[in-house]
Amino acid sequence: MRVASFQFIQRNLNNISARTSQANEQLGQMSSGKRVEHASDDPVSANGILNYKQELRKLEQYQNNINLAENRLRREEWALSSAETITQQVKEIMLGANNPAMTQQERNAYKEELQSRIDEMLDLANTQDEFGQYIFGGFQTDDSPFSRQPDGTVVYGGDGGQRDMMVGDNVRVGINHSGELVFGGVPNPRGDFTVSYELGSQSREDNLRVERAHINDKSSFTDAHPYTIDFVTDPNSPDGVAFTITDAGGNVVPAPPADPTPYVPGDTVTVDGVDITIKGEAKVGDKVTLSSDVKDGTGQDSRNVFDVLKRAKDWLESDGHNPSGQSEMIEVLDELDAMAGHFTRVRADTGNRMQRLENQQLTHEDMSLTLNKLRSGMEDLDYAKATGEFSQTMVALQATQTMFGKVQSMSLFNYI
Residues 31-85 pLDDT 10s: 555 655 555 555 665 566 677 778 889 999 999 999 999 999 999 999 999 999 9
Q: How many helices (H) and strands (E) does the chain have?
A: 7, 15
Between residues 320 and 6, which one has the greater pLDDT? 320
Partner residues linked to 155 by β-bridges: 147
- The HSE-up count of residue 336 (CA atoms within 13 Å, CB side) is 23
Instruction: Return d(Cα 221, Cα 219) in angstroms, integer.
Output: 6
**Sheet strands side by side (includes 268-271):** 209-215, 274-279, 268-271
Helix or strand or coil: residue 35?
coil
Q: Residue 235 pLDDT more than 60?
A: yes
pLDDT confidence bin for 17, thresholds 50/70/90: low
Instruction: Return d(Cα 60, Cα 199) in angstroms, integer.
Output: 66
CA distances from 117 to 60, 84, 146, 175 (A): 42, 11, 16, 27
pLDDT confidence bin for 25, thresholds 50/70/90: low
Burial code (b: 16+ CB inside 10 Å, e: under 16) for 201-215 equals eeebeebbbbbbbbb
Residues 283-313 pLDDT 10s: 999 999 999 988 888 899 999 999 999 999 9
Partner residues linked to 146 by β-bridges: 156
- The HSE-up count of residue 250 (CA atoms within 13 Å, CB side) is 0
Q: What is the mean pLDDT of the chain?
A: 84
- The reported pTM is 0.81
Helix or strand or coil: residue 367?
helix
Percent of the chain with pLDDT over 70: 77
Q: Residue 410 pLDDT more than 80?
A: no
Residues 306-364 pLDDT 10s: 999 999 999 998 878 899 999 999 999 999 999 999 999 999 999 999 999 999 999 98
pLDDT on residue 320: 84
Chain region(s) in the chain for CATH 1.20.1330.10: 34-188+301-380
pLDDT confidence bin for 401, thresholds 50/70/90: low
Contact 35, 379 (CB under 8 A): yes
Contact 182, 346 (CB under 8 A): yes
Partner residues linked to 245 by β-bridges: 229, 253
CATH, range 34-188+301-380: 1.20.1330.10
Instruction: Return d(Cα 119, Cα 116) in angstroms, integer.
Output: 5
Q: Residue 246 pLDDT more than 90?
A: yes
pLDDT on residue 367: 87
pLDDT on residue 1: 47
Instruction: Return d(Cα 182, Cα 305) in angstroms, integer.
Output: 8
The closest of 221, 198, 244, 199 to 292, measured between CA atoms, is: 221
Contact 155, 146 (CB under 8 A): yes
State which of 228-237, 325-334, 363-372 shows the largest mean pLDDT. Answer: 325-334
Exposed/middle/buried for residue 400 (C-beta within 10 Å: 0-12, 13-18, 19+): middle
Q: How far apart are the first and last CA of the chain?
A: 24
Instruction: Return d(Cα 247, Cα 229) in angstroms, integer.
Output: 9
Does a cis peptide bond (omega within 30 degrees of 0) precede residue 254? yes
Residues 87-145 pLDDT 10s: 999 999 999 999 888 888 888 899 999 999 999 999 999 999 888 999 999 999 999 99
pLDDT on residue 243: 93
**DSSP output for 183-250:** TT-EEPTTBS-EEEEE--S---SS--EEEEEEE--TTT------EEEEEEE-TTSTTSEEEEEE-TT-
Residues 385-400 pLDDT 10s: 656 555 666 655 566 6
Give me the long-range contacts of 132-136 (CB less than 8 A, separation at least 24). Answer: 134/158, 135/72, 135/75, 135/76, 135/79, 135/176, 136/76, 136/79, 136/176, 136/177, 136/178, 136/179, 136/182, 136/183
